Amino acid sequence: MHDLLTMTGCTVKDPGPVRIGVISDIHFGTGDTPGWSSAAGDLLSCVRFWQTAGITTVLQLGDLVEGPKEYVRSRLQAVMEIFSRFPGSVHHIIGNHCLDAGLDTYMKFTGLSSPWYSFTTERLRIIVLHGMDITVSSQPRNNEDRKRKELFSRDPWAREYSGAIGQKQLEWLCGELDRSAAARQPVVVCCHLPACRETTDERHGILWNHHELAALLCRYPHVILALGGHYHPGGQGWIGSIPAMTLPAFSKRHSPPCFSCGIIEINERFIHVTDQQQRTRVTLPLEKQLS
């Protein structure tokens, strides 16, 4: 099998696996979650774990904080102070509860210039999507987005606290995928909301236009992983031949599956997720050949 992470067409020495720190659904400062009083110390432990493990890039997969509004700003400030102690880069994704702070406030505190964006790290293109682009309270600006909003009333899995990806963002995504394909660059697509029913349940819900996103991603053989959060127990599945994964919630770390944070390791054959105790929690095969 060709090395999925060496796509230049040249014969080169195997640079080893890609390793990225991951964490999801922190819900920082929320008093009704188990272990909330130890959240700051436990999150700092994650930061130290990644640093000791030699991780330089971390993905925070959404629901960093939640309301009420009179507290959420101070919670954002406190949790970002902890993340600031990580010497590498932390890339934040917008979850449904993050909007309790207001989109502009959340973006300001997390340093985002756009709700959706991409970056290159460790030989991968990471594409970050904004699954709450269309919500129950938003006003669609075109007919396509109005139809996407109507999915909320037609699918029982389309919950009021989830949303959809809009036309402008989808057009941007197509451009990103086209450029990555031309560069023969493997892609990981991240969205807080699950885009695969196997990785969530009806109570937690799903991205409203998950079928549309799945059809788009399946057109691009260089997409090697769809990664998200939201579903607190975590789950694995497939979008066509693309492995899909939702990460267990940090906020539920004292309940099964007892996962706080971890590392995703990607080599030419497998995707592994290890936890803070260095135990392998998930192994998914990479079945694609990219040449």
Q: Return the minimum-mean-pLDDT range out of 65-74, 81-90, 238-247.
A: 65-74
- In the numeric block, which tokens belong to residue 36? 């909330």
- Model confidence pLDDT, tens digit, residues 174-211: 999 999 999 999 999 999 999 999 999 999 999 999 99
Does some domain include residue 88? yes
What pTM value is reported for the model?
Answer: 0.92
Distances (CA, A) of 51 to 23, 72, 83, 282: 14, 27, 12, 22
pLDDT > 70: percent of the chain? 91
Distances (CA, A) of 27 to 39, 52, 108, 161: 9, 25, 18, 15
Instruction: Kindly indicate the confidence band of residue 291, based on its pLDDT and cuts at 50, 70 and 90.
Output: very low
Does some domain include residue 8? no
Among 246, 263, 250, CA closest to 207: 246
For 21, the enclosing helix (H) or strand (E) is strand 18-23
Does some domain include residue 7? no
**Can you give the pLDDT at residue 257?**
95
Does some domain include residue 5? no
**Can you give the pLDDT at residue 288?**
57
Sequence-ordered list of residues with C-beta below 8 angstroms from that of 152, at least 6 positions apart, any chain: 136, 158, 160, 164, 208
Does some domain include residue 207? yes
Does some domain include residue 236? yes
Number of neighbouring beta carbons within 10 Å of residue 138:
14
Which residue range is the domain that position 198 belongs to? 18-285
Does some domain include residue 24? yes
The whole-angstrom separation of Cα 286 and Cα 17 is 13
Q: Chain centroid to CA 78: how far?
A: 22
Instruction: Kindly indicate the confidence band of residue 1, based on its pLDDT and cuts at 50, 70 and 90.
Output: very low
Q: How many domains does the chain fold into?
A: 1
The whole-angstrom separation of Cα 37 and Cα 40 is 8
Does some domain include residue 234? yes
- Look up the CATH number of the domain holding residue 157: 3.60.21.10
- Model confidence pLDDT, tens digit, residues 91-130: 999 999 999 999 999 999 999 999 999 999 978 999 999 9
CA angle, corner 60, sides to 166 and 161, nearest 5? 45
